Amino acid sequence: MRLHVLPGILPAPRWPRPGYAAVSRWFAILGLAALLAADLHVTSLHPWSDLERLLGGLVRPDFLAVEGASILYTVAFAVLGVGLGAGAGFLLAIPYARFRAVRIACAFLRAVHELFWALLLMQVFGLSATTGILAIALPYAGICAKVYAEIIEEADLSALRVLPAGSDPVSAFAYARLPEVLASIRAYTFYRLECGMRSTLVLGFIGLPTIGFYLESAFRQGRYGEAGALMLVFYALIGTRRLWVRGWTLPLLVLGAILALPPMVGSTDVGASLARFLGHDIVPAPLRHASLLAPDTWLETWAALWAWFRPILTGQILPGTLQTLVLAQVALVATAIGALVLFPLTARHFAGPVARPFGRVLLVTVRSTPEYMLAYVALQLLGPSMLPAILALSIHNAGIIGYLMGRHADGLTYRPDAPRGLNLYAYETVPRLYGQFLAYLLYRWEIILRESAIFGILGVATLGFYVDAAIAELRLDVAAVLILATALVAIAVDAASRALRRSLRIADLPVRLASTDTPRSSAPVTA
Amino acid sequence: MAEPAIRLANASAAYGGRAVLDGIDLVVHPGERVAVMGRSGAGKSTLIGLIQAQIPERVALVPQAAALVRTLSVFHNVYMGRLDRNRTSHNLRTLVWPARADLDAVRAVLARVGLADRLRDRAGALSGGQQQRVSVARALYNGRPVLLADEPVSALDRVQGGLVLTELARTHETLVMALHDVSLALSHASRIVVVEAGRIALDAPSAGLDAAALRRYFVDEEAFA
């Protein structure tokens, strides 16, 4: 159908397109409302003295207490998990744009947090290397597939069109597409390896023998010197990533990782436990013994299933989702404020030559710290409430966005008679970066939500709290339903974020973090 | 008379509902060297695209932008011109470890455009004019009988441009080239086709034309020259 639109009488859109200000206002209002609903009590008696002892551990680290194997395992799990995930992601990226089923499968893979994957995989593979590697590989495959597909889509295709007719598709891909995208894919994958190390650390908190495992026990037993040393070792690993993760070291890393893997712990008969897990454990209890082939019992089975599901929905999924959304909303707004305050610290026009390096180190350190660990530490200090989770999420994410914004700010060119200081910030810098700022925030929204759900394991009543409880009670069918619900909420938020970015016309702005690792000479910043 | 190399009958093309070419009749015989001329936006590139879509398996193309893979070497970019005539396994091997025979063949082609010494350079590191000559070398190496070229010498000076057009005419039987340089067109084409507002406004042997006769089709562009 063709619409004939005469100039001058264009039909008015039913809703006016929201602008930057309107969207910001609504997010802030929702954030305030969520803040009123959130539980922010500080229950710890001596938060400051605990913090003092913690910082004391960082100043006087006890490196001799560090378990060397934990460093090895942290790297080994990350290398193999990310390697496997990136490999699978690359294979999935090729049919990604063409097949909806592939896109849905990838969305599901990445909507489930690596900790949830680990909790599920543990039921089958025990507390083993396989659990650690797959827990990273599965969500990373989904993430990498999406990002690789985007990189391939964005690539310059002019050479592909000039190929002689009849070139076979494999050669065409290898010559005209792959070389164009290889550099971006490599930079992104190396960046993912850094994320993989953060994920591995977090997996230590549930028992895998990585740095996180020793960190958790050191914190719990008040050995702050050891905890400080472990944290410094971890920062060193992340900070030196570019020195030891290179094209030519990759084969060595993979080989070393395979040799260094810890021995199998837990169940050895994987086939039997996988069959039990899929065929019995995660099947909703009322369906386990029902005869699904007899139509006359269907009604009865449905009734039983509903009776089983209803309390989960009203008692766990709905309140858990609400708390997750509340936490994510407060954290998102706090992140926004934090990023706006922090980014001048790393920008040339605001921080002097003395302050700027410190600002950078601060933001890079903050962004290297996994939010789960921040939350864990904050929880030790402040006691169980939403406050530690909000602090952890907003500090980590404000660090990330602030750092990127600082780089964008350095890329701006100002007129010679531009104002200075706060006037420059308010009239030139922030307005010109605001679209980019919103793009980053909306992109982090889904990530913040996934983390909010996970923090339930630490005791905040978000979805993860119920998942953790269900697994502790060995009610895996309930855990599976809850994880599925979490994934659906994450997918919904991702869709909302994408719709908003498109409606604000900021969908094409860079939000990928890896490209900052390869700054190009011509383009000021591509993040 | 022999079978024509190209035959367009009442062909038209449109972008987003707007007609760019309309009712084009064009017959080109083997051995003809056709210069397509006209103002920018007249439909020259679209005409070349129409011809390519009709006989893709007989065409070697020099596109308007050099369209090189910037991260690959000059050798690989030229080698791509014959990607369809080698086995996949050979192509993949060549990406990593090229055979001596292929290297020699490509070097010989590059020598014809004056770039034999840049065989192993990254294509993205070359200047605009050099990239354009690599693009021409790719078409020469392809060697298909009909050469379609969209401004193949726009980044070269007139002398170099003339040499490149001569090389193209030596390799390919039939040439259809969009050109904007009137004197290059008159000296290297056997036939001039002027496209104006989506139609063919002039189609004549170049022998009977002079620069002044052609210039009146681009008066407004001359103002910028």
- Structural domains in chain A plus CATH codes: 19-60+311-527 (1.10.3720.10), 63-281 (1.10.3720.10)
What is the C-alpha separation between A402 and A356, in angstroms, rounded? 13
**Average pLDDT estimate for A176-182:** 88
Q: What is the dihedral of CA B88, B91, B93, B97, to 10 degrees?
A: 170
Least Cα separation, residue A527 to chain B (angstroms): 21
Q: Is the pLDDT of residue A524 over 50?
A: no
pTM higher than 0.90, yes or no?
no
Check A159 against B92: CB less than 8 A apart: no
Q: Band of the pLDDT at A523, cuts 50, 70, 90?
A: very low
Stated as kind and residue range, the H or E segment containing B188 is helix B182-188
A173 touches chain B (CB under 8 A): no
Q: Is the pLDDT of residue A522 over 50?
A: no
Per-residue pLDDT band at A394 (split at 50, 70, 90): very high
Q: pLDDT at position A15, please?
A: 58
Does B122 have pLDDT greater than 50?
yes
- A507, two tokens: 């969908």
Per cent of chain A over pLDDT 70 is 93
Q: Which of A175, A182, A186 to mutate to probe the B interface, most B CBs <10 Å?
A: A175
Tell whether the model's pLDDT for residue B39 goes beyond 50: yes
Model pLDDT, residue A525:
33
Could you please report the per-residue DSSP string of A29-87?
HHHHHHHHHS------S-HHHHHHHHHHHHHS--GGG--HHHHHHHHHHHHHHHHHHHH
Neighbouring residues of A361: CB distance < 8 A, sequence distance ≥ 6:
none
Chains A and B form CB pairs within 8 A to the count of 70
Residue B149's nearest CA partner among B70, B40, B66, B77 is B66
Quick one: pLDDT at residue A99?
A: 92
Q: How far is A82 from chain B (nearest CA, A)?
A: 26
Give B180-189 pLDDT, tens digit per residue: 888 899 999 9
A516 — pLDDT class (breaks 50, 70, 90): very low
Q: So where are chain B's domains?
A: 6-222
The pair of three-digit structure tokens given for residue A56, joined into one six-digit string: 């004391």
Give me the mean pLDDT over the A155-162 stretch: 82
Which of B121, B111, B127 has the alpha carbon at shortest distance from B66?
Answer: B127
Contact A164 B91 (CB under 8 A): no
Of A159, A170, A176, the CB nearest to B88: A170
What's the mean pLDDT in A251-268? Answer: 78
**Rounded average pLDDT over B160-181:** 93
Question: Using an 8 Å Cβ cutoff, are B158 and B181 in contact?
Answer: yes
- Res A97 pLDDT > 50: yes
**ipTM (interface predicted TM):** 0.81
pLDDT digits (tens, 9 = 90+) for A279-307: 888 888 888 877 777 777 888 888 889 99
Contacts of A65 (CB under 8 A, 6+ apart): A218, A223, A225, A226, A229
Separation between Cα atoms, residue A171 and residue A160, nearest integer Å: 11
What average pLDDT score do residues A201-218 get? 91
Interface test with B, best of A157, A168, A171, A522 (most B CBs within 10 A): A171
Q: Please name the helix (run of DSSP H) or strand (run of DSSP E) that holds residue B96, with its range, or none.
A: helix B88-96
Residue B10 pLDDT greater than 60, yes or no? yes
Average pLDDT taken over every residue of chain A: 86
Verify whether the Cβ–Cβ distance A174 to B92 is below 8 Å. Answer: yes
Chain A (235-294) residues lying within 8 Å, Cβ to Cβ, of chain B = none
Q: Which residue of A has its CA nearest to B64?
A: A158
Q: Secondary structure of chain A: what % helix, strand, coil (to 5)? A: 75, 0, 25
**pLDDT value of residue B15:** 81
Residue A197 binned pLDDT confidence (cut-offs 50, 70, 90): very high
8 Å CB contact of A168 and B60: no
The residue of chain A with its CA nearest to that of B80 is A163
Given a contact cutoff of 8 angstroms between Cβ atoms, the answer to whether B135 and B113 are in contact is: no
Q: Give the pLDDT mean for A16-23.
A: 80
> For an interface test with A, which of B84, B85, B96, B146 has the most A Cβ atoms less than 10 Å from its Cβ?
B84
Closest CA relative to residue B60, chosen from B42, B39, B80, B31: B80
Q: Please state, as a whole number, how many other Cβ atoms lie within 10 Å of the Cβ of residue A422.
A: 10
DSSP string computed for B21-76: EEEEEEEE-TT-EEEEE--TTSSHHHHHHHHHHHSGGGEEEE-SS----TTSBHHH
Supply the DSSP symbol for B122. B
Q: Residue A167's closest chain B neighbor by CA?
A: B84
pLDDT of residue B219: 56
What is the distance between the alpha carbons of residues A234 and A211, in angstroms, rounded to a whole number?
8
Task: Just give the CATH number of B6-222.
Answer: 3.40.50.300
C-beta of residue B189 within 8 angstroms of C-beta of residue B33: yes
Residue B21 in tokens: 């070419």
Q: Does A155 touch chain B (CB under 8 A)?
A: no
pLDDT band at A264 (very low <50, low <70, confident <90, very high): low
Nearest-CA residue of chain B relative to A157? Answer: B67
The alpha helices in A383-429, defined as continuous H runs, are 386-411, 421-424
Asked if B56 and A165 come within 8 Å (Cβ–Cβ), the reply is yes
Q: Which residues pair with B59 in a beta bridge?
A: B146
pLDDT digits (tens, 9 = 90+) for A401-410: 998 999 899 8
Tokens of B116: 């034999």
Q: Which of A156, A167, A176 sits opposite B84 (nearest CB)?
A: A167
